[in-house]
Structure 1
Amino acid sequence: MAYRNKTYVAFASEDIRSYYLMKAWRENEHIEFDFFDAHDINTALDTSQPETIRRRLGERLSNTKQTVVLLSSTTKPKAGRSSSFLYYEIEAIKRRNLSVVFVNLNQSRTVDSSMIPTTLKDHYSMNVSFQPAIIKYALDDYVERFNKNLTAANPLTGPYQYKAHVYKDLGL
């Protein structure tokens, strides 16, 4: 079994700029933000067949300990279309019972259920705004709580959000 230490970032293709911005934050020495990106392994070319792309996505998810799902107005509809790769990613995240940090690209700090993919609406998850400090905090804090929740007598379900004081403590 592969060592699971990566972060998988799932997003609609329309939101790829936000994913690239997250990678830029990681490379910026003035921003404290880092993650081991599962997209850096087993690259599939755009010309690859859908079956090859799905297989490579599965390999990436096998090396994943946590996931970030970028939420925008296109996420839920695209995640509901079985012909999209986002649909496959969301289904695989659910099947593997991976932790999910939903990142609201509209900067909302609250849960907006209308944007969460239906497959993950009851999944214990955390919603945060699209800012490096709170995303990093959630990857460090929530993921540990998610793992403890897996063995809890009465496990939590559904989406959650941090209280305002967490953002304030982070200087946001």
Structure 2
Amino acid sequence: MAGVVYVAFDGDNDKWAYGFMKGWKANKNVDFDFEDAHDLDEMTSRAQNETYVKSKLKERMKASTALVILVGEKTKNLYKFVRWEIELALELGLPVIVSNLNETNGRDAERCPAIIGDACAVHVPFKLSAIKHALEHWPSEYRRLDATERAKGYRYYDRKWD
């Protein structure tokens, strides 16, 4: 199991991808599991208040062992929450997995938010096998890297994914 995973995504356009991840997890015939940070607590009716929402999201992220960013067509333009979530993850030193919804294996310079583009994160296609591999391996790989290695920037797995 991957531990507690915080998933950041464009809630207006890419919620389907988050739904896929939850579906893979729920399907007993699919070998995919993670503890979803968004299931740790519930938002109340005050969830319209940005300060309240960010305080709850911060609690969830502090309890997480990794961040998965689902990068779609408009993700790089989202500043209110997605950029804030990425900044917080970097501040907390969380391992970051960038999953490209267009299935690019590696950094997608056109869609990747600039704040994470050259950071020490692993970039994978939005495929079950790629995300599963990254969740199982990247957090420990990231934690083994020293500051010099982390400064070398983004990574990707040089392989074909099912």
Question: What TM-score does the superposition give when structure 1 sets the normalisation length?
Answer: 0.84
Structure 2 unmatched runs, 5+: none
Q: Quote the offset at 1:21 in angstroms.
A: 1.0
Counting aligned pairs with the same residue, the percent is 29
Name the structure 2 match of 1:159. 154
Structure 2 residue aligned with 1:61 = 61
Deviation at 1:87, TM superposition (A): 2.4
How far apart are the structure 2 equivalents of 1:52 and 1:117? 24
With 13-22 and 156-165 compared, the bigger mean Cα shift is at 156-165
Q: What is the SS of the residue equivalent to 2:142?
A: helix
- Misfit runs of 4+, over 3 Å: none
How far the C-alpha of 1:42 sits from its partner, in A, is 2.4
| Number of equivalenced pairs | 157
Q: Deviations over 1:73-127 (max 9, x none)?
A: 111111xx3xx22122111112112111111101122321222212222321111
Instruction: Map residues 17-166 of structure 1 onto 2, 5 A cutoff.
Output: 17-45=16-44, 47-48=46-47, 49-78=49-78, 81=79, 84-149=80-145, 152=146, 154-156=148-150, 157-164=152-159
User: Given residue 26 of structure 1, which amino acid in structure 2 is its aligned partner?
Assistant: K
Q: TM-score, normalised by structure 2?
A: 0.89
1:46 positional shift:
6.3
Cα shift at 1:47: 4.8
Q: Which has the higher mean CA deviation after the structures are superposed, 41-50 or 137-146?
A: 41-50
Q: CA RMSD in A?
A: 1.6
- Separation (CA, whole Å) in 1 of partners of 2:117 and 2:107: 11
Counterpart residue identity of residue 87, structure 1: R
For 1:164 and 1:22, locate their aligned partners in 2 and report how far apart those are by CA, in whole Å: 21
* Alignment equivalent of 2:7, drawn from 9, 13, 24: 9
Determine helix, strand or coil for the equivalent of 1:164. Answer: coil
Verify the 8 A CA contact 1:32 1:133 in the aligned structure 2.
Answer: no
Q: Give 3-state SS (helix, strand or coil) of 1:113's partner.
A: coil
Rounded Cα–Cα distance in structure 1 between residues aligned with 2:57 and 2:70: 17
Which range is displaced more, 51-60 or 36-45?
36-45
